[in-house]
Structure 1
Amino acid sequence: MLGKIDFQQVVDDLDYGVITLDDQLRVLYFNRWMFEVSGKQPDQVLNIPIERVFPQISNSRFVDACRDAIDLRLPTRLSNSFNPSPLPLYQNKCIGDELYRLQQATVIKPSTDNEGSILCEIYVQDVTPIVSKETLLKQMAADHEKLAKQFEEEKDHLSRIINNTADAIITFERGNKIQMCNLTGVKLFGYSQEELNELHFEDLLQPPESSSPHSSEKLRSLLDNAISNGVTSHHAIATYAYRKDGVELPIQIKFSRTSVSDQPLIVAIVRDTSDQASRDKILKESEARFRNLAKIAPVGIFQTDENGVLNYTNQTWNIVTGQPRNTINEDLWFDHVADEDREGVESQWKVETANNEQFVLEYSFVCEDKLKWVLCQLMEELDENGRVLGYVGSITDISEQRKTQAKIEHLAFYDPLTSLANRRLFKDRLARSIAALKRGKKRMALLSLDLDEFKRVNDSLGHDAGDQLLTTIADRLSETVREEDTVARLGGDEFSIILNDIERSSDAAIVAQKVIDAVTKSISLGQQSITMTVSIGITIAPDDGREPAELVKNADMAMYSVKEVNKNSFNFFSASMNKKASDRLSLENDIRGAVLNKEFFVKYQPQLDIDSGNIIGAEALARWNHDVRGMVPPCDFIPVAESSNLILSLGELMLYDACKGANRLINRLGNPKDFTLAVNLSAKQLMDKKLVHTIQKAVQTAGIYPEQLELEITESALMQNIGEAVKVLNSLKGYGVKIAIDDFGTGYSSLSYLRTLPVDRLKIDQSFIFDLMNNQRDKDLVTAIVAMAHSLKMEVIAEGIETFDQWQFLKSLQCDFGQGYYISKPTGVNEIVKACDSYIWSAVAEGRQNIILPEESPKLKQVKR
């Protein structure tokens, strides 16, 4: 076995460069050839990033190819045509002399070391002699032109070759006067042949109207060398030429010298680099000329005769296909394909090549007990008469790309967090399940799941804990169903389960209960342990429908019916739910029209100082009188407006109307400075980006002071996004608006937040006041709330006061303010002013009189409670 030192000696003795980079593109190995042609010492190279070793390649295609090899495992071949000298390497130890700079062909490919670490292998070959041969061929072409004068047939043939080359070929004498220009040059520069014969070569390198010479110093040097010393330029010089019409053309020029009748003649090869198609053609020509580079190509290259029998393969071909080299001239190019696929590959090849189409095919085969995928491309090689000489093709190992594609396809159909089916795959599975119903007599069930209070957990514990919770729930859901069923995560905390081939509805109920049992098991999140609940809606197909959208809607309706009642349970879809949803949609449309038509109006419920009985403000309450429905209770239209986002437009409308009404009321009452208008804000209004601006505009339009407006926000609305809520409340407080927490004691809140929030008042929920005189626990709670609020320097207002005894008890606790039907129902501005004029509030405070209310419907009494 060859030792490590022997292997290094072998590589050092190679007549081409070998470089090894680590995954940070630091140089791990330079062979002797590289040190000689680069002029570098080991301490200038080893363990140093390649871009620091050769600063000239920074941000170049060379560096990009190295990164592709490391990051994407992609091999790259940098041909000499477009990357003639990517590295500053020089021959004859003439380091730094660009005339001696090597032209290179470079192969960059991924590799691994013994420990499996990714490396980048770079092979650099000096192709300067090959380029010199190319120049010699062009010189021979010029010599053939002279011979063409004697042999007319050869002249015509050579003329066609020259005129059909992609490059302009121009010859001129020592004085630089153009002697000949091929047809490509005539078309390129826009001059006739006669006009070109009157020009000097330099005239093509400056605008037609210019009289000053134009050529770069480097171009002039190469031209002079070609004229005086016969030195041929090894690489093209990039510059600009000008058409007859003045259009500037980016070009590349190479010079060579020949002689005609012992007179020196300069040949300029001019390439138009503005046409990508021209560059592609040149690339193919270059690849044909430098076919020997295929020996180190990163793709398999092969050539066959007209029957498809191999007559050339490079080493990569043999590695990819597993075919030995000694079978050349015996095997067909597709013999490595598996027996069952070979006939199809051969047939497609013959059909496409018979139709003069390029053969491109991806196929797989087993090599060394591994499944390989390759991309094969094959095209004809024709002689000048169009007869097929054979075929040339390439074969690329795309096994890793296929694996990557499979991963991408997985991401397209599966949720990246839980690995459950995503919405796209769910829709496909649901459609397939419904289609299967037509072929059998069984049923299927669709379960819609929503975790209860997930947002609260996610906001309080953080998104990482929320993700951990979702993955745990997902694993548990997968364990409750069969392999043929589907569990999908549709987004957030929404899941769906498709149960295929069930006998009866009770089968779905059994699974739903399993889901509930699985979800409600304690879950450990770091140092905390929590218990979740889930609401499940179930619909059965074909009983409840056969359309995917219909079944999803049914399951969702059933799930929401659970959430509205008791949560942590399941419910089957019923026709009544459909009617309820239809009624709700009808109500939503009526609300939308009512907002546009301004059918809503404001009533005001007075708020009194419990100690003095003086009016200190009023709460604005939205009311709606529909032309068909009549008076619609707020408990009917407010939730629908909330869920459909109509609450934003409705809330803005009520805010403007309430502020205008408050202005009239304040003026009628003699402009009391301490009068406050209380307006309710929903959670969605609180998160509205335009809220502060809307309130400022409403206050200014109504002509009231900011201090005369109080915004009531529930605990639940605050806690939905406490961080953003604090920012909004601070902005409103800075404007001068008062803040009150509505329905205090019924929501979920934190006393630590309460201490930091800019709150002026706590409003005790009416549920604590209703049975206050008969329930000691309610008394204790109200007593505690009043004491706590006063200790935090907050005022307290009690809502829902209906008796004088309740009034007296609250007064004994030094509760600041009160409102309720004992004082007055929600009423208009005029009624409030009349009551003030009659000093009725003082009588109410003393228990001598209360506002007599008209008889109410049972529903309104329920709403009042």
Structure 2
Amino acid sequence: MSYTRSAVNSPRIVGAAERGGQALVGGDGADADGTATVAQRPYRRAPGQGQRFSADRWFARRAVTALTMGTVAVCCILNSVEIGRHGWSSDNWGIMPGFSELLLSLLAGFLLARRASGSHQLGWWWLVAGSLSWAGGQAIWMVIQYGLHRDATVSVATVGFVGWALCSAVGLLKLGGRSSALATTGAVISEAVVLTGSLGLLLWELVLAPTVTNASNVDIVMLAVVPLGTSFVISAVMLLSLHVRRPVIMVMGLAALGLIIAASLQTVRFTGGAVGLPAPHLLHQLSFVLVGLASVLPHKVVAAPVRTSLRRLAFTYLPMTVAIWVAVWHYFVQRRSADIVSISIAMATGAFLAISQITAWFDSERLAERLQNNVIRLRAAQADLRTLLDDLPEALVVLSAEGTIRDLNALTLELTGLTRDDLVGHSFARMVAADDYSRLGVMWQAMLLAEEVDKPIFELRHVDGSVAVVEADVHTPVHDPNRVVVALRDITQRVAESAELEQAQTRFRLAFQSAPIGMVMSSAATGRLLDVNEALAEMLGFQRSDLIGASLQDITHPDDWNVSRLQLASAADGAASSYKLDQRYIRADGQVVWARTSVSVMSDQQGNPLVIAHFEDITEERRAAAHLQWAASHDELTGLPNRTHFLEQLRRRLDGAELGSIAVLFIDLDNFKVVNDSLGHAVGDELLRGMSERLRSVVRDRDMLGRFGGDEFIVMLDGLQLDLSPADVAERLREAISQPLIVENSELYVSGSIGIAFADRAGVTAEELLRDADAAMYRAKTRGRDCVEAFAPGAHETSVLALRTSGELRHGLERGEIVPYYQPIVDLATGHLTGFEVLARWRHPDRGLLSPDQFLPMAEETGLIGDVGAAILRASLAQLGLWQANVPSLADVSIAVNVSVRQLVDARFHDVVAEALAETGVLADSLWLEITETALMSDVKSATIALRNLRSLGLHLSVDDFGTGYSSLTYLKRFPVEAIKVDRAFVKGLGIAAEDTTIVEAVVNLGRSLGLMVVAEGVETPVQLTRLREVGCHRAQGYLFGRPRPAALIE
């Protein structure tokens, strides 16, 4: 049972809520126009919220405001002028106050017309008509008064003034006359006329009649009609204010009050009364200011009284009683003769009083008929409710707050076998078995304390001895908290079925847990493991509690999960009721278990698909099959793919591969036969196994290493478009082979001859590629072994060209064709030129100007790099000496000369540098020697000694292409260098590639932290320059500052 007794069920709070509901207009939570009241009105956005700004609307509002303020200001000025000219007495006033009155009445009509919209627009248009009627009357009055120079107090202009009263009264009734709290429209109008007659009679008898004793009957009627008409407006306001107090109605009442006072003063003035104040004109103007103000007030309910009948009677008949007393006093006590106005008012009031009573009688009859119909409908509803309760599928009992049965339905009687008289008026405990009394007491106590408890289950004893099991649900009606409704749901059959189901589940659980193979129950929709048996937990090495609640994906091998997921999804959709598959699972220790999985799909009680899976461990079976398959495609001694498997993979990768993206390396171990014959086959086998491990450590995972047979290995390199050089890989393989190998405490030395073949022509087959690599390997052996040879159709021509270049380089050095070019180096902080990097160029007599990559590699191979470096060093130092002596702007510049690894480790290089400095007379402080990071790390000890010797000359040292090698901070601090140069490869991606930007920033920060100058190479764009300045780089060089040029162009 879920029971909550909230605070709203309190009689006090419920009563307050009901009273609050009646306080709303009409009693139904809505305004008179049908809109929601404050309590139920939906959220309204603030002005402008969620609306697009409209310039036209904004200017229109500003224009109306300006017009209103301007009109009021003009009227104030006109009145001030008139008062200044003639004083405060209105007797001598001219046309200006009347004209002001005309302007304000027109302005009020204009403002009311702008407001006329929505469900009340008809009421607003009546108010507009009233203002225009007054304006028309005022215009006629001005023509008669100032145009014809006659007194216009009693004239046809009165029609316009009376028209204002009638139209305004109708408009106010339209604005406030739709509330259900009001009587019929006819009753309201008749009561308003009665009230008007009473007020008019009092006004006439007490104020106006004594002043018009000498006037004619026509004048008397004309003088009285305006105050009486205005009294009609006030009467309507008074009656409407009893039911719907809208600000618009209240302000219109004030305006009418002002007009009636002004009309009374005007009447007194016409009949000769001495009124020396400007009240009539100014009150007219003030009243229409109020009318204009009414157009901008909110049209909503401010308050709504609950009962208005007594107050309405007091408003209607108390003034009439006073008027009768005054009339009796005047005409029966003082014997005053009645005039035409008094008689007319009295007759009209009496007639409308009779009409009001007739209307009230019709309303009473109508309400009585409605009440009788409601009673009939209520009785029919009670009968329908009784039928409905008896037809409900649940037993229903209505209790009092003390637990006494107040009512029940037919099904309750059927469950107990008792009659209604046996139960109604008795305790609810009479229906419940004695064993459930304590549970019933707990439920009732929790209900009284507003606590939440589970739905209790009781046994109901039938008179025939049978038992019905019911589930109770308790509710407290909101509108009657002293009643408790108990719904009794017959669950006898459900309880019996639940017991049978529990027995079946127990039997299934025993079979499930005792099965000799692994079993799983999981959700087909989510894959969550609902239950597992001990056999599966033992198979996977988990505790059973660790597996329950986990996902099937958690124990399935990642490579097999996609297939399992698709099968589960198919089962969840009902496409397959069972299936089998072999797949891998992950044990707790990370080992892989193969299992033959048999899956059956069924539904639970809620219709959700469940999976029952059987797991048979087939790990050994799969392992044996895999070993057989592996043995057929691999070399048993080294574990490498054999020739057959290698060719199969090579064919597969060649199919659809891009030209030049695959290369094959053929490796032959030199002198292996000597080792095998002299030391025995066992040592030879160990040598082969050791070499296979070394070769495997060099190649990538995506490449393939295989054993061709004997002492021959083959390598397939794939993905050469990723800037992988087969020659570099072959060189690393050759170096790995040449390292000594310890076998049975003996150091064995062998070398390798390696041939390379490229799949660089269309239609090449795996056999052809392997043949070409084998041919290249044999050519390497013919060159003296322990080398790498690439197979290519144009290899001969390339060799001839290389040999010719080597000979011409020697002659070029002798003829001075190797010359220095200079590229500017700039200080980034000041933008000033600080020096040049010296770059070698070869002015070849036949091939033109050659760049360094076209001859320096040959110089390295032939040993001429030392002579080339010395020539460049001497020439650049000589040029620097000339600049410092003859060009003032270049007096403080320095030069940076690159040094190769062979030059650095050459014992004579120190003397070459010292002699060059001495010959040219250039200070050593003006010379920077740049050594690549890779050159320094090739022999750290020798490089350190050489650098220290060079540094002793007073020159500067820098590390070139920093970041492309593999130096550590320890070695960097050990070398006596003063600068590091950021490689152009990183500068190229600066500001574009996040990785390059991070590397440049790290190198700059590293240099600054070690006190080293940082120079950036390859600066080509302003973006790179800006970013280098931001990270704090000291100097830079590149095409942005200038390309390498000869000395003549520099000057």
The structure with more helix, counted as a fraction of residues: 2
Task: With a CA cutoff of 8 Å and minimum separation of 6, indicate the structure with the bigger relative contact order.
Answer: 2
Larger gyration radius, structure 1 or structure 2: 2
TM-score, normalised to structure 1, is: 0.34
The structure with more strand, counted as a fraction of residues: 1
TM-score, normalised to structure 2, is: 0.28
